[in-house]
Structure 1
Amino acid sequence: MTKPPAAPIRVLLADDEVLVRSGFKVLLDLEDDLTVVGEAANGDEAVERVRATRPDVVLMDIRMPRLDGIQATAEIAATPGLERVRILILTTYDTDEYVFDALRAGASGFLLKDAGPAELLHAVRVVAAGDALLAPRITRRLIGEITARRRAVRSGEQRLAALTGREREVLALVGQGLSNHEIGAELFLSPATVRTHVSHAMAKLAARDRAQLVVIAYQTGLVTPDL
């Protein structure tokens, strides 16, 4: 029996630049497994349209009028029923130190605004799958630089006390940007077992997704910045 095709990944575009939204829309709509379900020119519109359309992924610019991308991300993440919506932050990297705040607010990762078409398509698919943080090397560097200046009030040991030794090992490798398969190879575990440890760590640390686990790994000193 032929397996029915999977439903396309539904994407909402939030950016105050019309040309940026138009370019992304053309690129995404050319793919059979991706479809654009809405657009927003500011943060308020983004929140409203996410609630109306419930997309799988939101491409969210940080700098928008009326409500910026961080505030919009926080509102979406805090809305019951929108837990499965993944938010991919668009940033210029060199100037947007607010990316760290966006990850803490509930974003699943970030993408450079000058990324090429293949990188954009890969980013949307990865974030939709929810199984890896986008651009791990760039993400680690950015989080590391900012976290070095923003130490958590609670000590690392206090925050990590609820984790088992194995869960700490897995968290450290998640913080280094490794996928479940890579972590499994490193620790001689199956990907399914790794996934279970990741889920347990997320629950114990009240992390919304894998991106927040990376932030916690740096905040607690489990992973140190490689600058």
Structure 2
Amino acid sequence: MNEHSTVGESVDNQSGSGERRLTVDSINTYYGDSHVLFDVSLSIDDGEIVALVGRNGAGKTTTLRSIMGLTPARSGRILKDGESIHESPPHRIRKRGISWIPEGRRVFGGLTVHENLRLAAHSADTDQQGRIDEIYERFPRLDERRTQKAGTMSGGEQQMLAIARALLGPETDLLLLDEPSEGLAPQIVEDVAAIIRELNEEGVTILLVEQNAEMALGLADRAYVLETGEIVHESPAEELLADRAAMEQYLGVH
């Protein structure tokens, strides 16, 4: 631990002075009888990128699933903009402005790019075609591939499509990203990181789960380390990135 660690403190004392976008307060989550998350607390202020890092099997994806109501926590609180969401079903949580891009991208491979986007836009209460046109302006590669089956695109293109779909539903102000760099070539990882940074600069708050700790910490303002279902470290991201002993201890990065 370094002097910035806040493990064991109330989540209300964590992070900076901005408006609190998300509060996860002492949640415990189970798969059947298996206890997976142990009193996990974290917070994200409006406009932040927060990285949640840890080794495989630490419980990072389960944390995101708990936030989205897909694997509800059995105890603890989850608050969005100060209001409880932990007993809400996933579709209502999505309408509260939280969007989740799961690990593995999960695009509809048999549908074209445009069909994938139309399905996502259908859930929004605004002009569908206008929003799709905005997506094509943001992601020119998708515009070029609009009639191509999504399953035949490269991993990086599929990741762009997954991000685009998340932006097309109800308005998003908090984006949960699960392993966006998984399986991508280094240059494509840089492209995805640039998209994440650009979205954040436009006002989207981001919780980033990544096995690629150096990529995540390079983007993030703050970082939490999850180890066997418990938060064991919290600090500014740049300080964790610079602490090679902590990187090796928690993440196996030499």
**Structure 1 and Structure 2 fold alike (TM over 0.5):** no
Greater helix percent: which structure? 1
Greater strand percent: which structure? 2
Using the size of structure 1 for normalisation, the TM-score is 0.29
